[in-house]
Amino acid sequence: MPVGRTNRRAFIAALGGAAAWPVVARAQQVPKLPTVGYLDMSSRSTGAAATAAFVQRLRELGWSEGRTVAIKVRWADGRSDRIAEIAAELVRLKVDLIVTSGGAVPAVKQATSDIPIVFAIAADPLGMGLVASLAHPGGNVTGLSIQAPDLAGKRIELFRQVAPNLRRLAIMGNAKHSASVFEMDEAHAAARTLGLEVAPAEIRHATDIEPAFERLRGQVDAYYLCSDALVNDNRYQIAALALTARLPTVSGFREYVEAGGMMSYGTDLLDLYRRAAELVDKILKGAKPADIPVEQPTRFDLVLNLRTAKMLGLKISTQLLARADEVIE
């Protein structure tokens, strides 16, 4: 009998152990999902469309959030002082890759030389020291550049067809954002070449925007807006202030025209984020950023706002309307 009881206890213990095996096996078989850290310079409300485009393109490429990939999204809310902190957090989380844009890239690059970094937008990745060359980045960073030869000049040339009386141009940009400073310099040089006077309208915080308009009241004929998270997050306020002052605006992204701006000429923001997802796909499948060339724009869209033109008393020529890729009425 003692032997029987022992055997029975051993049998029951064995059953209990066997019942636990599948649980242990399942726990061991669940692999850690590759994790993408996503640092957006802007706020959730402003950056939602670009983030959605990025996630949707990843899904089309076979990366389903929560099933085949994890995405840690962080918003800087237009505050450059938060970028280093968020970058350090993503590094601590041991993400497999970080996606970001513009002025956030240098801080992210400083936070890690090992984790691959993909920038969805950069004005001058070579000049900013992000990559060794566009064809061979050579480090842990690659992405998409919006730099193009004489883009600011082309933008202002087209803008003069909308505002033929343009003589003095205010250039508004975030002086704390390196990419914005680069665009301000480019726009300044282009305007001078075209014989225009330039009035700087540098801002560093949202509270600087209205005083900048007040300071230049009656002194300028139009505004050139340099794209960055601060200007983007406040584009509706800027459009309203420009309309109140009866001044047309030109920028690089259609989002500014949707907000009430007069004209934009540049690349498609959502397309840049979709293309960034394609670079992420390559890296998650084993490619190295050092070997992935920085991509440059292949097309530029001209977007006009007819409603704003009418409010400002401006007439857009049929030739320019025919050339536009999109007209907002």
What's the average model confidence in pLDDT over 230-257?
Answer: 95
Is the four-CA dihedral 188, 39, 237, 211 of positive or negative sign?
Answer: negative
Percentage with pLDDT > 70 across the chain? 90
What's the average model confidence in pLDDT over 24-43?
Answer: 77
Q: Are 128 and 105 in contact (CB under 8 A)?
A: yes
pLDDT at 39 over 60: yes
Binned at pLDDT 50, 70 and 90, residue 30 comes out as low
pLDDT at 27 over 70: no
pLDDT score of 45: 86
- State whether residue 134 is helix, strand or coil: coil
Percentage with pLDDT > 90 across the chain? 74
Q: Report the distance separating Cα 286 and Cα 306, nearest Å.
A: 47
Counting Cβ atoms within 10 Å, is residue 2 exposed (0-12), middle (13-18) or buried (19+)? Answer: exposed
Binned at pLDDT 50, 70 and 90, residue 215 comes out as very high
What's the average model confidence in pLDDT over 205-219?
Answer: 96
pLDDT at 25 over 60: no
Alpha helices in 127-177 (DSSP H): 151-162
Alpha helices in the chain (DSSP H): 2-29, 44-60, 83-92, 105-111, 151-162, 178-193, 209-215, 229-233, 235-244, 254-258, 269-284, 306-312, 318-323
Q: Which CATH number does 35-146+269-291 carry?
A: 3.40.50.2300
pLDDT at 150 over 80: no
pLDDT score of 2: 47
- State whether residue 120 is helix, strand or coil: strand
What are the tens digits of pLDDT across the range 44-87?
Answer: 888 899 999 999 999 999 999 999 999 999 999 878 889 999 99
What's the average model confidence in pLDDT over 30-56?
Answer: 91
What are the tens digits of pLDDT across the range 264-305?
Answer: 999 998 999 999 999 999 999 999 999 999 998 878 999 999
pLDDT at 14 over 50: no
What's the average model confidence in pLDDT over 116-137?
Answer: 91
pLDDT at 7 over 80: no
Kindly report, as residue ranges, where domains of CATH 3.40.50.2300 are found in the chain. 35-146+269-291, 151-266+300-328
pLDDT at 211 over 90: yes
Counting Cβ atoms within 10 Å, is residue 267 exposed (0-12), middle (13-18) or buried (19+)? Answer: buried
CATH 3.40.50.261 matches 151-266+300-328: no
What's the average model confidence in pLDDT over 150-161?
Answer: 92
Q: Which residues of 283-322 are buried (b: 16+ CB within 10 A; e: fewer)?
A: bbeeeebeebebbebeebebbbbeebbeebebebeeeeee
Enumerate the β-bridge partners of residue 143: 119
Q: Which helix (H) or strand (E) holds 35?
A: strand 35-40
Q: Report the distance separating Cα 238 and Cα 234, nearest Å.
A: 6
Please choose, from the candidates 39, 113, 110, the residue with its C-alpha nearest in 3D space to the C-alpha of residue 73: 39
Binned at pLDDT 50, 70 and 90, residue 22 comes out as low
More confident residue, 117 or 4: 117
pTM, full prediction: 0.81
pLDDT score of 80: 81
Q: N- to C-terminal Cα distance for the chain? A: 94
pLDDT at 3 over 50: no
What are the tens digits of pLDDT across the range 98-108?
Answer: 999 988 899 99
Binned at pLDDT 50, 70 and 90, residue 236 comes out as very high
DSSP assignment of 259-309 equals: TT-SEEEE--HHHHHHHHHHHHHHHHTT--GGGSPPB-----EEEEEHHHH
What's the average model confidence in pLDDT over 26-38?
Answer: 77
pLDDT score of 328: 95
Q: Report the distance separating Cα 196 and Cα 182, nearest Å.
A: 19
pLDDT at 117 over 50: yes
Q: In what order do the strands lie in the sheet with 35-40?
A: 70-75, 35-40, 97-100, 117-122, 141-145
Q: What is the mean pLDDT of the chain?
A: 89
Q: Are 102 and 66 in contact (CB under 8 A)?
A: no
Counting Cβ atoms within 10 Å, is residue 88 exposed (0-12), middle (13-18) or buried (19+)? Answer: middle
